[in-house]
Amino acid sequence: MTKFIKGLVLAAVSAATLAAAVPAYAQTEITVQRFFGTCDADFGTNTDVSKSAGECGIITSQINKFNADNPDIKVTVNSVEWPGYDQLTAQMASGEPPDLVTMHESVISDYQSKGQLEPIDDVLKAAGIDPAAFTAAGRDGVTKDGKIYALPIDSHAILWHINLNLFKQADLINADGTPKLPTSVDELIAEAKQFKEKTGKPFLVQATANEKAMFTRAMYIYLNQQKSDYFADPTKINLTTPEAKKVVQMMKDIYDQDLTTKDQDYPAMVAGFANGDGGVEVNGTWVIGDLDTLSKQEGNPLSGGYTVYPLPQLFGGEPSYYSDGHSWAMPKKDRSPEQLAAIGKFLKFMADDDYDWSRTGHIPGIQAVLDSAEFKALPHRDTILSIASIAKALPSAVQRQFAIQDILGEEVASAVTGQKDIDAALADAQSRINDLLANL
């Protein structure tokens, strides 16, 4: 080898070594904080979003895909226990919040009113995201004082997840194969009794232990059905009403007559319904994908026998519902122009891939996805799509909605399980909530 050629070889080797040791460009780093669980064993390295399932699997794969497609950006993920707001509040107090965080739309006002969130109108515009592309529910949920404070990715609600195999056993199937759904409280009680008589199992599978959200969300739905304006003043709640008492009385009657499971927490409820412990699981949009997958497998109580519907209209009048939404919000902190551009690129990716997120069972936050044939072709969307047009959140000016949810759920549970008289429980819920709102 001549000295000239040897020199070229050594130079090439040195250049290759240097290139391996030093990146060709500097990565822009952003931190993303999310709930939805952890599932690294199944999806930790997956970048094919179409091969993911469930909330955790899909969001994990989406972020993996974004990182793979954008080597100039490094997204560091911090997964927190649901809902993660205590941790977020502590991070904000210490001056070290994440760049983006998953946030329920019902919580945005808590942080926005204290100046702890950045409006993202300019970030969205620079990324080519038009808020007009959001669904009406999504746009309302993230708009505060005329500004956009988050990217909506879904609307979600609690539903009736139905074991059709047990409904057939109970003779609660219509001629077209759909389940017979009650249209009044009396019909609900009658069908629940018939179900128990013929199957030996409770009609409802519910989380009644250490679970406050489900009671509260059902309360909102059934109050909305009665056109109860329980938050006419967003700084006060009115629960000492005939409408509220009717809802809690119905829940208590179901409980007292053993027409529901008892003393179950959320994981026990999910496992119990999958094991065929009852006819209807009262749970959210987020389990549709998992339950549909289970129903397509052989040898389990849901095999070939799963469907899902909104909670039935039991109180007459025009259909009405309650929903919340998940979104990506941007906590207030100093960021470089490069970080803001990276955040915009991430949000654009999430908006463009809202269809994959909707496979969880959630209603899309992007109108084009909601209108798409692809979304409508997903299993069971035909039975729940009405939620998108009739559901509403609490008034956006109502603050501390998660704390309200805990208080109301706790007091309703105390009445349902007989620890308190219904009137006393509702009065206590009203007093505690209004004390909370009066001392913000």
Q: Give the tens place of pLDDT for each residue, 147-156.
A: 999 999 999 9
Overall average pLDDT of the 335-360 stretch: 97
Q: Please list the alpha-helical segments (H only) found in 143-183.
A: 164-169
* Beta-bridge partners for 204: 260, 280
Per-residue model confidence (pLDDT) at position 12: 40
Please give the CATH topology (third level) of the domain spanning 21-156+324-391.
D-Maltodextrin-Binding Protein; domain 2 (3.40.190)
Q: Are the C-beta atoms of 330 and 343 separated by less than 8 Å?
A: yes
* Torsion region of 400: left, alpha or beta (phi above 0 gives left; psi -120 to 50 gives alpha): left
* pLDDT at residue 183 greater than cutoff 60: yes
**407, containing H or E segment:** helix 401-416
Tell me how far apart the alpha carbons of residues 104 and 82 are, in angstroms, rounded to a whole number.
11
Indicate the CATH number of 158-322+399-438 among 3.40.50.2000, 3.40.1550.10, 3.90.25.10, 3.40.190.10: 3.40.190.10
Per-residue model confidence (pLDDT) at position 352: 98
The interaxial angle of helices 422-438 and 401-416, nearest 10 deg, is: 170
Amino acid at 193: K
CB-based burial, 64-79: b 16+ in 10 Å, e otherwise: bbbbeebeebebeeeb
Q: Are the C-beta atoms of 390 and 319 separated by less than 8 Å?
A: yes
Tell me how far apart the alpha carbons of residues 154 and 323 are, in angstroms, rounded to a whole number.
10
* pLDDT at residue 261 greater than cutoff 50: yes
Q: Is 77 helix (H, G, I), strand (E, B) or coil?
A: strand
Overall average pLDDT of the 152-167 stretch: 97
Tell me how far apart the alpha carbons of residues 322 and 308 are, in angstroms, rounded to a whole number.
17
Per-residue model confidence (pLDDT) at position 16: 41
Per-residue model confidence (pLDDT) at position 25: 55
Which tokens belong to 199?
């199957």
Tell me how far apart the alpha carbons of residues 362 and 188 are, in angstroms, rounded to a whole number.
26
* pLDDT at residue 8 greater than cutoff 90: no
Confidence of residue 1 (pLDDT cuts 50, 70, 90): very low
Tell me how far apart the alpha carbons of residues 36 and 19 are, in angstroms, rounded to a whole number.
38
Question: What's the pLDDT tens digit per position in 11-29?
Answer: 444 444 434 444 455 699 9
Q: Where in the chain is the domain with CATH 3.40.190.10?
A: 21-156+324-391, 158-322+399-438
Per-residue model confidence (pLDDT) at position 4: 34
Question: What's the pLDDT tens digit per position in 87-136?
Answer: 999 999 999 999 999 999 999 999 999 999 999 999 999 999 999 999 99
Counting Cβ atoms within 10 Å, is residue 377 exposed (0-12), middle (13-18) or buried (19+)?
A: exposed
**Inter-CA distances, 423 with 159, 244, 256, 340, 429, Å:** 27, 9, 17, 51, 10
In the chain, what percentage of residues exceed pLDDT 70? 94
Tell me how far apart the alpha carbons of residues 87 and 100 are, in angstroms, rounded to a whole number.
14
- Whose tokens are 């069972």? That residue is 361
